[in-house]
Amino acid sequence: MAILIFNRSKSFHFKEWLSDLNEELVLFTQVSRSDLDNYNHVEMIESFDQNGWTEIRAIELHKNFNFHTIIGHSEYDLIRAARLREKFCIRGQRVESALAFRNKVLMKQLAAKGGVEVPTFRSVNSSIDLFEFIEENGFPIVIKPIDGGGSRHTQVLYNFDEMKLILQQGLPTNLMVEKFVSGEMYHVDGIMRNGEILFSCASRYINGCLAFTKGASLGSVILDKKSRISNRLHQALSTVLASLPGAPILAFHAEFFHTDDDRLLLCEIASRTGGGRIIDTIREVFGIDLNRLWIRLQCGLDETPQLTQKADQLAGFLIVPPKNGKLLHLPKVVPFEWVVDYTSSVQPGQTLQNAASSVDSIATLIVKGTTEKMVESRLNQLNEWYMNELVWEEEWGG
């Protein structure tokens, strides 16, 4: 018996997390990793999405390894993994569930039917669909891929001139449109087992998920679990999860709008753990690794989260996006004792491009504090200091 893993990351430590299992691990990976020798079988595949042989290769290997579990941690592998589970008749999320969490139109249709308030939306198959939606609902609007992730290719249009420019460039396929929602944005992250939520954590975005489109940093702060908005978010989450087809083990990353008139609307929900520094920030506060927990539960281990939250301990993270140009200088250290992690992904002298998604970064940082207000204040202070420390070639007239 064996476990098949579709990997796109260096931060999922499958072998380490499953060391107490006497199981063969087969790794399909798009990225090189330092631990590849630890797996029973490894296949480097440049792109799971473009290489149509990927799934067929899995079927071939199943004859020898007899997979009992298939793991796909990325948004883009959930349906692929579900199809193979059905093919092999093994446990885990099925295609119906994976599609509902992946297809944002289907997701909102099911959620609305289950009593969840969602923004006004529709799928877009032609420019006429988009034009009619604007005629009925006006500007501003949001257009995005039905099955996108990380806010990639998501745009806010404010007038007909902007719409005309998009259409003249060629309307993308697999598109949806929805009415722009004014207000704050929140996310709720956690794990569910057999319909029971084992852990969930509500947080508030600072600047919002589309901050990168304006070159601004994205931040997030964990909410006090006793706050009114935290309670409301968890109630809304339960309604959303009840409206969608589930799975034996389900990780979730849900995003909600809190409107200016005090309503909660579902933006979207994914059946995976959150990206950016969400996992690390939750670990800082609660002492659990959601990725590790998710992987172990899928492999049949009877894992129960052991929370170790310190009294009044909260945290938040900051993602500093790249921009077009050569980066000449960035800080080596951060002079604030309340910054508990500073990770930079670039070096001085690199030529960079504007962020394409909400998780593209030149640096990420995690901040601790005892209240939401304190964490947010520190994130803002840190962001201002860090941005002033960056030196780009254009600023030197290069």
In a domain, 158, yes or no: yes
Is the domain of 292 the same as that of 153?
Answer: no
Is the domain of 388 the same as that of 242?
Answer: yes
State how far the Cα of 95 lies from the Cα of 98, in Å rounded to an integer. 5
Higher pLDDT pick, 394 / 167: 167
Tokens 């199809």 sit on residue: 83
In a domain, 103, yes or no: no
Is the domain of 35 the same as that of 174?
Answer: no
Tens-place pLDDT, residues 23-53: 999 999 999 999 999 999 999 999 999 998 9
In a domain, 115, yes or no: no
Is the domain of 335 the same as that of 286?
Answer: yes
pLDDT-derived band at 311 (thresholds 50, 70, 90) equals low
Q: Is the dihedral of CA 207, 353, 154, 223 positive or negative?
A: negative
Is the domain of 194 the same as that of 321?
Answer: yes
Question: Quick check: 395 pLDDT over 70?
Answer: no
Residue 66 is which amino acid?
A: N
* Section 203-210 average pLDDT: 83
Q: Say what angle helices 95-102 and 104-113 make with each other, to 10 degrees.
A: 100
In a domain, 114, yes or no: no
Record the tokens describing residue 86, joined without a space.
Answer: 């059905």
Q: What is the pTM of this model?
A: 0.93
- Reported in sequence order, the residue ranges of 47-140 that DSSP labels E, i.e. its strands, are 67-72, 121-124
Is the domain of 271 the same as that of 167?
Answer: no
Is the domain of 238 the same as that of 330?
Answer: yes
- With beta carbons less than 8 A apart as the criterion, state whether 362 and 374 touch: no
Is the domain of 218 the same as that of 263?
Answer: yes
In a domain, 108, yes or no: no
Is the domain of 130 the same as that of 199?
Answer: no
CATH number of the domain residue 261 falls in: 3.30.470.20
pLDDT-derived band at 56 (thresholds 50, 70, 90) equals very high
Residue 57 is which amino acid?
A: R
In a domain, 351, yes or no: yes
Q: Which of 36, 37, 56 is nearest to 48 (CA)?
A: 56
State how far the Cα of 91 lies from the Cα of 94, in Å rounded to an integer. 8
Tell me the pairing of strands 339-344 and 141-145. Answer: unpaired
In a domain, 113, yes or no: no
In a domain, 371, yes or no: yes
Name the residue range of residue 85's domain.
2-91
Is the domain of 232 the same as that of 337?
Answer: yes
Record the tokens describing residue 127, joined without a space.
Answer: 């420019």
